[in-house]
Chains A and B, each alone.
Chain A
């Protein structure tokens, strides 16, 4: 019995030794070229995305990561932290070290979720750049009797609640877009939230609802195929993907709303590091591969500087707070 026991102890001891050795090599690998100096960046950058792999936001991160790798000459590893409508990943970012080695795609939710019971505040982040904008639009089924936005609004005025508008989900940016339009026109719509943008658009294509508010990335191809008729885009100026479609503002309804993606880091990153990242991102966002990727989705590649993005996110957040209160 005692020999048996001592053999076990020996084996366990050996296991411990081997494991420690393994761990040391693993750690050595992990920290890469371990801080060779003060020059940023000198080791692997983690690029978080609060979404699952494969979606538009994830691909945005992956495309930009590739450009940043070329720019910096270090690895930029994309890490997915999905869940809780994006809140899990955004909160996770807030808890990481503010050294510039952890950055993230911060989608429009960063300015929305804080007003919906999540512990998220844009002030917890240093925004480095805005990477794109995804303008909103309102569309009706192609066989709909409504030819113009005015006709839709008149119908909603005549019988409040009779016009149903699908959107991507309760409290989503497109739900707010429809709310905003209702407020601007002074009419009452019936909002029908779906589980994501694609089913919301399908409901309009199939004629189950009267209209849909969604990103032009989803409505523009449907208009080209003859499945939907886009009545208006919710932007300041007409968009290249739909040059013949008027803006809501042109039609007299002052509604400008859309989704966007910013790049950010936890608050407190040294200013020179932010500047380095900002400059690199400016190039990455102008890179042909990225521009092509964003435009293929019908959206607009768009760079905004760190300072302007910070101000922009703050304004959006305040605006969304009042819209959410009004919905």
Chain B
């Protein structure tokens, strides 16, 4: 307990408060701009914070990390463009809600459940760091492959009704994931001599194209001369009523659960957690058919999940010295410079630091939540712009934001190419969700399977308890809905039968 007090006392310093405020403002801003992800913002800030005291620097970096997760929901809900990859799944229901005039309640609920998720994740960080870190270490290639297989079963769920088309889109996504250097031999695949492609398809450019640009192009081709559709001025209510708050509970609990587990596993982050928890909440929901058409539950699950990953990621990073996600990979660099080598030794040498970090993150969460609730009405004004201005703003911000990721014009081209691809897909009723899932999981699936095969010819796939459990879970995820729908069909038939008698 002494450590907790020392850790907390170390923060009683006005400059740290200032650092927190700066970080939260920056994080919310960069989160809300498509293209600039938390990773990039933290990386750029790291250049400046190195000269600060460690705690001050960590306050800036961690609060950017936390606040970006609040900011990125805004474009996801309002213009179908994920501000950072963590809010990909937010677009599934958030944007349909906004189109239906319920943007206000979607934004408020999103901010509230994001805060719940973040706080839950941080609690785990404080109380369970070391045992859980030991668990994370057991994720070798075979276990990772099994986890990714489980993730791939979500493809059926995010297909939006047409499973055949969903699986085709998923296969296309997995193929796009294979572009670049082979993960084991290094041979180039499908790069057509373009050096930019040898490190794979730029992910952020692809998701901005698939969601934001495709939606925008679709609005353009549906527009009619002289009749510009009315902008979304109807924002609906702001604060969820009692029934809605109750509705939020279950998906948030599912989201937090999924987020904690995914967050602990190294190298996977909020994007995957969001999609998995969206699908889990759909399965558990009383009204699964509403998912994807503007369900409040469908916003709560992914948003609480992606923020809940943060505690787990920080924990894995601190306890193992292994980056829990890409933001943490950048932060490790700074921490090393400050003489805080992440790893089990950190808990021995600086036990108070963990409490300081957790306190910083809690403070950042509360600040970011407050900011999110206050500035919401202002941000939403953007939507009251006539559509043509909104189009122009979205195009230039996505364009420059995507360029800024790698200072690469090629990435901008990729963004528009994926926008056109997703437009054609949309017109032919192919869902974009499975494609993104394939793009994220493809390299992880192939690389880890082949690593597992190299190490022991894949024996760990059926000897490791974690791998076996996850593979069985995947099997259940695919078969249970089929069996259930067969049973229901039979019940209905039986019912109809008895009635005719």
Contact = CB atoms under 8 A, between A and B. Distances in A.
- Establish whether A and B are touching in the complex (CB under 8 Å): yes
Contact of B321 (A53, A55, A80, A221): A221
Contact of A84 (B195, B329, B338): B195
Contacts of B196: 83-84, 88
A285 B46 CA distance: 20
Closest 3 CB pairs of A and B: A54-B43, A170-B186, A208-B140
Interface in A185-223: 190-195, 198-199, 201-203, 205-209, 221-222
Nearest to B316: A202
Interface in A81-105: 81-85, 87-88, 91
Interface of A: 52-56, 58-59, 62-63, 78-85, 87-88, 91, 116-119, 164, 169-171, 190-195, 198-199, 201-203, 205-209, 221-222, 224-227, 292-293, 296-297
A189 to B, nearest CB: 11
A63 B195 CA distance: 28
Interface of A is mostly: mixed
Interface string B330-368: 101100111101011100000000000000000000000
Contacts of B137: 202, 205-206
21 contacts: A54-B44, A59-B47, A62-B47, A79-B407, A81-B406, A84-B195, A84-B197, A84-B198, A85-B181, A85-B199, A87-B198, A88-B196, A118-B198, A170-B185, A194-B451, A195-B267, A202-B320, A206-B139, A221-B343, A293-B50, A293-B337
Contacts of B181: 85, 170-171
B23 interface: no
B138 interface: yes
B454 interface: yes
Interface string B305-345: 00000000000000011110000011011001111010111
Interface residues of B, number: 54
A199 B454 contact: no
Contacts of A225: 321, 341, 343-345
A221 B408 contact: no
Given A54-B39, A170-B183, A192-B454, A85 B321 contact: no
B195 A88 contact: yes
Nearest to A196: B329
B447 interface: yes
Given A54-B43, A170-B184, A192-B455, A206 B140 contact: yes
A130 B485 CA distance: 66
A206 B447 CA distance: 18
B195 to A, nearest CB: 4
Q: Which of B407, B443, B447 has the most CB of A within 10 A?
A: B407
Contacts of A190: 454-455
Contact of B141 (A208, A222, A226): A208
A52 B320 contact: no
B337 A78 contact: no
B336 A208 contact: no
Interface in B177-203: 181-186, 188, 195-199, 202
A214 to B, nearest CB: 12
Contacts of A198: 322-323, 329, 332
A160 to B, nearest CB: 14
Given A52-B406, A195-B443, A225-B343, 10 more contacts: A53-B47, A54-B329, A55-B329, A55-B333, A205-B320, A206-B138, A222-B321, A227-B321, A293-B337, A296-B339
Q: Which of B195, B196, B321, B406 has the most CB of A within 10 A?
A: B195
B477 interface: no
B42 interface: yes
B266 A199 contact: yes
B140 A88 contact: no
A296 B340 CA distance: 9
A191 B455 CA distance: 9
Contacts of A296: 336-339
Contacts of B197: 84
B171 interface: no
Q: Which of B185, B266, B451 has the most CB of A within 10 A?
A: B451
A200 B44 CA distance: 26
B123 interface: no
A78 B406 contact: no
Contacts of A62: 47, 50
Contacts of B380: none
Q: Which of A56, A82, A164, A293 has the most CB of B within 10 A?
A: A82
A53 B404 CA distance: 11
A17 to B, nearest CB: 21
A199 B267 contact: yes
B177 to A, nearest CB: 12
B422 to A, nearest CB: 23
Interface in B451-483: 451, 454-455, 460
B394 interface: no
Contacts of A203: 140-141
B40 interface: yes
Given A53-B40, A199-B322, A202-B137, A80 B407 contact: yes
Interface string B130-158: 00000001111100000000000000000
A272 B196 CA distance: 35
Nearest to A79: B407
A54 B330 contact: yes
B46 A59 contact: yes
Contacts of B336: 296-297
A87 B443 CA distance: 21
B195 A83 contact: yes
B140 A80 contact: no
A193 B183 contact: yes
